[in-house]
């Protein structure tokens, strides 16, 4: 049996399972649970499911032509592993040592959040033969900011993986976001190696009592368990326009518009104008350290009893997540 050897380049004295080399087979990885997918629930006990719309349109990133712009873009997308619970999600680098994923990926069974040190990020899971190593993996050291209703979590990593892979930028131009008609999603569906969806990904109008929240972007792009936290792009873009969130009764999938998340995490992101490797550029050199947040402006890392909801004109009629049965 072939084994994936994850050599973690750090020691976590409070995390004995991470202090040693983590070794797991591909078969074992397939038994892990997609956090928040079918059979899984969020901290409120509500089911969170992903959906394939009709015939699957997933394409393996490794099968794309080498000169395809999405190959370079995909390098910033990673595989999120909760080592303690054997759970997985997707996410992406948004700074040298910053990783963005869903809140429900870090939600603990008791309603709080899991320790950051339970989390390992792997950037080069592109084929069944991929072998993670100290260069392609990092441990989370801190959960800098999170919000349950917006379903995001910003993690600080123990090493600047962004210096190796580059990082993604957030699309903060509301006019451009309003014009999006189709999207693409780079993800790790069902614990598979990195895949992309670009066909049959139309943006749809989902204003209804069920999904009336304008903070959502709804689309027909395929996702599965494990896609949670994936970056959503416009079909021809290289900036994140939404953070994939969940599926809705098998009818469509949706993500939180990045404009709402950007307001919360901006103090932690690299300063405007800093070099990145976003998009197709192979020559840009990322800054070596992430910007230091302004303590007065930065969101508090500690949870509040009831996280602030989106603006009232974006609040849906469900009061939050809706159970999907």
Q: Can you give the pTM of this predicted structure? A: 0.74
Averaged confidence pLDDT in the chain? 74
Q: What is the DSSP letter of 47?
A: B
Q: Any idea which residue has 């909760």 for tokens?
A: 82
pLDDT at 31: 56
Q: Is residue 14 part of a domain?
A: yes
With cut-offs at 50, 70 and 90, classify the pLDDT of residue 206: confident
Q: What is the DSSP letter of 182?
A: B
Q: Is residue 26 part of a domain?
A: yes
Q: Is residue 160 part of a domain?
A: yes
The beta strand positions in the chain, using DSSP E, are 3-6, 22-25, 33-34, 58-60, 77-82, 87-95, 98-101, 119-122, 137-147, 152-157, 169-170, 183-187, 195-197, 203-204, 216-219, 231-234, 239-248, 252-257
Q: Is residue 124 part of a domain?
A: yes
Comparing 322 with 293, the larger pLDDT belongs to 293
pLDDT digits (tens, 9 = 90+) for 14-58: 443 343 335 555 556 555 556 664 334 444 444 445 555 556 777
Residue 147 has pLDDT above 70, yes or no: yes
Which domain range does residue 17 map to? 3-32+77-165
Q: Are 10 and 161 in contact (CB under 8 A)?
A: no
Q: Is residue 150 part of a domain?
A: yes
Query: pLDDT exceeding 70 applies to what percent of the chain?
Result: 64
Q: Is residue 171 part of a domain?
A: no
- E strand or H helix that includes residue 111: none
Token pair for 270: 């690299």
β-sheet bridge partners, residue 47: 41
Alpha carbon distance 156, 263 (integer Å): 18
Q: Is residue 130 part of a domain?
A: yes
Give the CATH number of the domain where residue 99 resides: 2.40.10.10
With cut-offs at 50, 70 and 90, classify the pLDDT of residue 268: very high
- How many structural domains are present in the chain? 1
Q: Is residue 145 part of a domain?
A: yes
């Amino acid at each position: 049996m072939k084994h994936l050897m994850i050599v973690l380049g750090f020691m976590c004295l409070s995390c004995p399972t991470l202090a040693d080399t983590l070794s797991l087979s591909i078969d074992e990885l397939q038994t892990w649970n997609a956090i928040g997918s079918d059979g899984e629930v969020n901290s409120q006990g509500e089911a969170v499911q992903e959906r394939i719309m009709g015939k699957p349109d997933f394409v393996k990133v490794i099968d794309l032509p080498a000169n395809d712009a999405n190959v370079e873009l995909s390098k910033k997308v990673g595989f999120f592993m909760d080592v303690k619970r054997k759970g997985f999600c997707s996410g992406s680098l948004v700074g040298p040592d910053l990783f963005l994923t869903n809140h429900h990926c870090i939600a603990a069974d008791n309603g709080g959040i899991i320790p950051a040190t339970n989390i390992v990020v792997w950037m080069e899971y592109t084929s069944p033969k991929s072998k993670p190593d100290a260069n392609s993996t990092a441990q989370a050291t801190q959960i800098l900011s999170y919000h349950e209703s917006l379903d995001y979590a910003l993690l600080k990593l123990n090493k600047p993986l962004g210096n190796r892979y580059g990082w993604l930028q957030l699309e903060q131009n509301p006019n451009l976001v309003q014009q999006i008609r189709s999207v693409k999603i780079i993800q790790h569906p069902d614990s598979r190696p990195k895949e992309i969806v670009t066909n049959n990904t139309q943006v749809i109008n989902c204003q209804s009592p069920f999904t009336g929240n304008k903070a959502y972007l709804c689309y027909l792009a395929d996702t599965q368990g494990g896609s949670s936290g994936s970056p959503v792009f416009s079909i021809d873009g290289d900036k994140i326009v939404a953070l994939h969130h969940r599926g809705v009764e098998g009818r469509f999938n949706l993500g939180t518009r990045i404009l709402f998340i950007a307001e919360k995490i901006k103090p932690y992101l690299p300063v405007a104008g800093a070099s990145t490797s976003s998009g197709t550029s192979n020559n840009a050199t990322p800054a070596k350290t992430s910007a230091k947040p302004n303590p007065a402006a930065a969101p508090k890392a500690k949870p509040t009893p009831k996280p602030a909801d989106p603006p009232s004109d974006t609040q849906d009629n469900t009061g939050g997540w809706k159970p999907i049965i």
